[in-house]
Structures are given as C-alpha cells and as structure tokens.
Amino acid sequence: MLDDLLENVGEATHQPPSPSTGIPRRWLPSWVGSTVKCIVLPFVLIDLAMQRVARFIIRPPFKREGGCKRRGNCCYYVLIQHSNSLVGRFFYFWYTQVHGFYLRYKEPQFYEGKQMYVMGCRYLQKNGSCKAHFLRPLMCRKWPVVEHFGYPKILKGCGYRSSPPYPTDMPEDNFEEPS
C-alpha cells in the first residue's frame, strides 16, 4: 500500500486531504521549537558542509541534477523510522513537536522492510513552498537523497533527476561479479 502511495504522490497535482481528525495541535509552543531550531542550526549547517566535503573527496556514483518545482509532493508523505527505544521516542518527539510534522496514519507502515511513521508537514503552503524554509529540518535540506551506496531516492515529477539515470528495475539474477 505505502509503495503504491509513494509511487503515485510524485504525479499528484493536488494536496492530499488532511487526516480525518484534522492536523493535531502541537503542545510545545512554536516559539520554543523555533528557539531550539535556531540553536541547532549552526550544527546542521556544519554537518551539511562536511557532507559536501566528503562528496567532493569520495564521489558518489550518482549526481543530483535539476531543481525543485515547488509542488510540495515531497512534504505530503514524510517517512520517519518507527522505534520503541528511548532514542526512537526522542526522534518522534523532535520531529512532531520541534519540526512540526504530524501523523497521517496512526499505525506505522512497512516500507523497504522497516516500520515507518507516515507524516505530513504543517508548514507546507498552498503554493508548494515552505513557511519555515530557513529553519527546515536536515532531512528537508538533504532531499532528494543521493547516497554513496544504493540508488537515489527521488520522487517523479519533482524536478530533480539523477545522472546517470538509474534503471527502473534491476534483475537480481543477472548480477555478475566484476573481473
């Protein structure tokens, strides 16, 4: 179900409906969340700079090209890994109370063999831009994800693409060892 949903969201032309109970209110005041994000922002920017240096030294096999079309499709269904550990509960608190994401589905969904929370962003505006762009989370700053290992995670129709283009389906039985 979630795989199909994420496949179709890249081609969506309108925002999906809010949860049936509406977007829940955060109990943490917004000024507290903004203050915490301002304190953490320098560390986020240092992390991004170090990742760019690492990508310059060790080039990933794929390169991100293109630009954002500001459709907001990547903000409709944000996936955050589910965990009952103390660290997992902290990250859930961090993303819901500080960054302002909200649950789209009450129960975690399975995606790529992992349980994930499916969330939406409360800062997405009708024109597809972000109301909190300057203080957006690291996951939003790094989107679309182009890792050193595996294939890029890019939504169809968002304006980004990978170079070289990655194959849409990889036959597992045609894998050959390099000589």
Query: Residue 35 has what pLDDT?
Result: 95
In a domain, 56, yes or no: yes
Q: Which residue has the higher pLDDT, 7 or 178?
A: 7
Structure-model confidence comparison of residues 31 and 174, the more confident one: 31
* Residues found in the chain: 179
**Per-residue pLDDT, 175:** 39
Residue 73 forms part of a structural domain: yes
Phi then psi for residue 32, to 5 deg, are -70, -45
- Residue 102: strand pairing partners: 120
Is residue 12 assigned to a domain? no
Of the pLDDT bands very low, low, confident and very high (cuts 50, 70, 90), residue 7 is low
pLDDT, one tens digit per residue, over 19-28 is: 778 888 899 9
Res 50: pLDDT: 94
As for how many domains the chain has, the answer is: 1
Domain assignment of residue 40, given as a range: 27-160
* Residue 20 is assigned to a structural domain of this protein: no
On whether residue 61 sits in a domain, the answer given is yes
pLDDT at 43: 95
Compute the CA torsion angle 44, 46, 51, 55 (nearest 10 deg): 140
Does residue 38 lie in a domain region? yes
| Beta strands 78-81 and 160-163, pairing class | unpaired
| Lowest-confidence pick of 4-18, 45-59, 103-117 | 4-18
- What per-residue confidence (pLDDT) applies to 74? 84
- Is it true that the peptide bond before 17 is cis, omega within 30 degrees of 0? no
pLDDT score for 106: 85
Note whether 97 and 29 are within 8 A (CB): no
57 within some domain: yes
Within a 13 Å sphere around the CA of 24, how many CA atoms are in the beta-carbon half? 14
Query: Which of residues 3 and 40 earns the better pLDDT score?
Result: 40
Residue 169 in any domain: the answer is no
pLDDT digits (tens, 9 = 90+) for 87-121: 999 999 999 999 999 998 888 988 888 899 989 99
Please provide the average confidence, as pLDDT, over all residues in the chain: 83
Q: Of the candidates 130, 136, 117, 146, which has an alpha carbon nearest to the alpha carbon of residue 59? A: 146
* 112-129 pLDDT per residue, tens: 888 999 899 999 888 888
**Predicted structure pTM score:** 0.77
Q: Quote the CA–CA distance of 60 and 152 in Å, as a whole number.
A: 10
Per-residue confidence at 1, pLDDT binned at 50, 70, 90? Answer: low
Residue range 8-14: average pLDDT? 69
